[in-house]
Chains A and B, each alone.
Chain A
Amino acid sequence: MADILSRLAEGFGEAFTVANLIFAFCGVLIGTLVGVLPGIGPVTAIALLIPLSFGLDPISGLILLSGIYYGSMYGGSTTSILIRTPGEVASVVTTLDGYEMAKQGRAGPALSTAAIGSFVAGTFSTLGLMLLAPALASVAVAFGSAEYFLLMLLALVMVSNLTTGSQLKAIIATLFGLSIAMVGIDPQTSVQRLTFGVALLSDGIDFALIAIALLALPEAFTNMAARTTSHMDAQRIQGSIWMTREDWRRSAGPYWRGSILGFLIGVLPGIGPSLASFLSYGLEKRLSKHPEQFGRGAIEGVAGPETANNAGVGGAMVPLFTLGIPGSATTALLLFVFMMYGLQPGPQLFDTNPELIWAIIASMYIGNVMLLVLNLPLVGLFAQLLKTPPAMLYSGVIAFSVLGAYALNFNVFDMLMLLGFGLVGYLMQRYDFPMAPAVLALVLGILAEQHLRRALSVSNGDLMTFVERPISLALVIFILLVLALPPVIRLLRMRRISRQHFDAGSGEGGQQ
């Protein structure tokens, strides 16, 4: 504990330099802005800023990019509440009660409870990250290739199974990402794979390029090719933005429950903040003495989900820092940035670069305070951003995407690939394929394959290597559980629906 505190003090020393304070501020500001703007999320913003961070030193660059990540979670709630359009997927449930509150003239308290809940969760989850990460890192030193492969497999299985949409489509998206990841020279045998003799493909397809193409361009295309320009019906912020004593009392429970739930879900690979916010909403509704108020402007329905999605950010940093395994598209990009700086996240990072890790953690405490100060008084100003004409906004996104693709390798080939994959992404989005699993698979694909082959060559092809040790055995069981879960849930739901049908049918029968 004393060790953690002294490390943290050093981290604060690093984060409190003028330059790093400015980077943290820029990060949370950009994060809030992209959170507010519908269609541009943290992944897009980080992908577009990767070329910018080439020129920065690793600490500043990572402070900036992490700031965008947690900052965007604050901004996402603003549009949910004021125009019923979530800025982020993680804020979808906030529209249910947030917009109702705004219609009743209580937009102020709704925005306040979202901001304060976000602050509580951000601080709590950073604390959790600080305590859990070093402990996990010391365990992870003992992990071999078998464990790493299983962990990555778990992340992929989770992201494609625990989706909010079609499970089959999420699996196809994951496999599509994996298939693209295989392109390039095989690191173990130096054999050219799927390069078709194109020299520029032998290093593989740049992950950041595909991330920009699949995440930023489809959103821009969809909005620019819209037949009618949607017009936004924004609710005004009237009266006091402060919460009443009653609001505080009702928000307190969701704050702490959302923090814990969000953090734990964030630690698990493959399930992002969006699922955390959905679960928190369900939890609050179940615990509430007045569940009938949910959907009609219950403040708990704003406080819980907004807390949970922010807590998820700190949780998601745990496997990234300690194992080098990203659990979501956003952390996959952060992993890419680490590697771009020549750093390999994992248990060794706590020994080789402790000052970096602790500076990022310290900056997250500072950034959350900045966000609270920034968001409470300026929320009206941020809401004005929604009036940006779509033609200007999305042409800017496209221009930044092209710039980002150019700055990766300085050639036309990459920019043409950006356009090609952008159109592929557009089609995938039109046909309701989720993008996040594809992006995560892209970064995990080659890592997982290498660990699989290394583990099998050490064991001479004996598959028992995956179940011999307690940790790997536990992981295998967990993966099987995750695979079995959705079909079981579907079966139960079908049974319940058919029973309801039966009841309804017999009811009608009785009347006749």
Chain B
Amino acid sequence: MRPSRDEEGRRVGSDVVAGGFMFVFAVAYLMAAFAIPEPSFENAVVGPKAVPLAIGVALAATSLGLAIRGLVWGRSERDVASGEAAPPQDLRKLGVVALLLLAYILIFIPIGYAISTFLFMLSVTMYLDREHWVRNLVYAVVFSAVVYSIFVYVFGVQLPAGVLS
């Protein structure tokens, strides 16, 4: 399957962006690595700083290399093993799913596993697939109830009961 045209367009310069981001991360990482204190007693030949610094330098060099190569080549190298290209992305969908996930994480402990999971599953499936609301509702109920029971009663892992307790 050939990538669609806008997919090709996005690919151009994507190595520059990726390399640039990684380079910024590497520089920040190096600054943090420099700040690692020396141990109070000096007994080791290689201190706690050396390896993080080496990793930071290597990361900065390779990501800069990626960005420069991207500028020269203009397009990115594809992984042959991943087969078909990933489906074109709708960033609004990603944003909504990530926000729902954030909300789920924040209410997980106070409200309890069963109810927060039910709400998360229902809202996500309804957002992505509005037509099958009965199926979504049944799935959300069954999933949260079954997983809760298996973890608590079969494996003895305590999950937050929240408002149900």
Contacts and interface: CB of A to CB of B under 8 A. Distances in A.
Interface string A453-491: 100110011000000000000000000000000000000
A435 to B, nearest CB: 11
A460 B45 CA distance: 7
A54 interface: yes
A470 to B, nearest CB: 24
A291 to B, nearest CB: 20
Nearest to A172: B62
Contacts of A452: 46, 51
A352 interface: no
Interface string B106-120: 101100010001001
B101 A193 contact: no
B161 to A, nearest CB: 13
Contacts of A172: 22, 59, 62-63, 66
Contacts of A415: 105, 108
Given A171-B62, A194-B32, A391-B129, A188 B48 contact: yes
Contact of A419 (B21, B98, B120): B98
A392 B129 CA distance: 9
A395 B98 contact: no
Interface string A80-109: 000001100100100100000000000000
B62 A179 contact: no
B143 to A, nearest CB: 6
Contacts of A321: none
Contact of B102 (A399, A400, A419): A419
Contacts of A386: none
Contact of A412 (B29, B55, B105): B105
B93 A225 contact: yes
Contact of A457 (B44, B52, B93, B105): B44
Interface residues of B, number: 77
A402 B157 contact: no
Given A389-B129, A391-B124, A402-B104, A179 B83 contact: no
B135 to A, nearest CB: 8
A189 B62 contact: no
Interface stretch (A293-301, A310-318, A426-434): A426-434
Centre residue among A230, A391, A418, A429 by max chain B CB count within 10 A: A391
B33 interface: yes
A224 interface: yes
A54 B159 CA distance: 14
Main DSSP-derived SS at the A contact region = helix
Interface residues of A, number: 77
A165 B56 contact: no
Contacts of A222: 86-87, 89
Interface of B: prevailing SS: helix
Contacts of B163: none
A165 B17 contact: no
A117 B58 CA distance: 43
Contacts of B37: 191-192
A223 B76 contact: no
A400 B120 CA distance: 12
Nearest to B58: A175
A225 B66 contact: no
A86 B155 contact: no
B132 A193 contact: no
A51 B151 CA distance: 9
A365 B92 CA distance: 48
Contacts of B117: 399
Nearest to A90: B81
A227 B124 contact: no
Interface string A131-164: 0000000000000000000000000000000011
A194 B52 contact: yes
Contact of B51 (A230, A389, A449): A449
A66 interface: no
Nearest to B86: A222
21 contacts: A55-B157, A86-B83, A92-B83, A95-B83, A176-B22, A189-B39, A194-B29, A222-B86, A222-B87, A391-B136, A399-B117, A407-B151, A419-B102, A429-B86, A432-B14, A432-B76, A434-B79, A452-B46, A456-B46, A457-B45, A461-B45
Given A165-B79, A225-B94, 10 more contacts: A182-B55, A221-B97, A224-B128, A226-B93, A227-B89, A396-B121, A418-B105, A419-B101, A434-B79, A449-B51
The 8 residue pairs across chains A and B that have the minimum distance between CB atoms: A165-B79, A164-B81, A189-B39, A226-B87, A225-B94, A431-B18, A391-B128, A166-B77
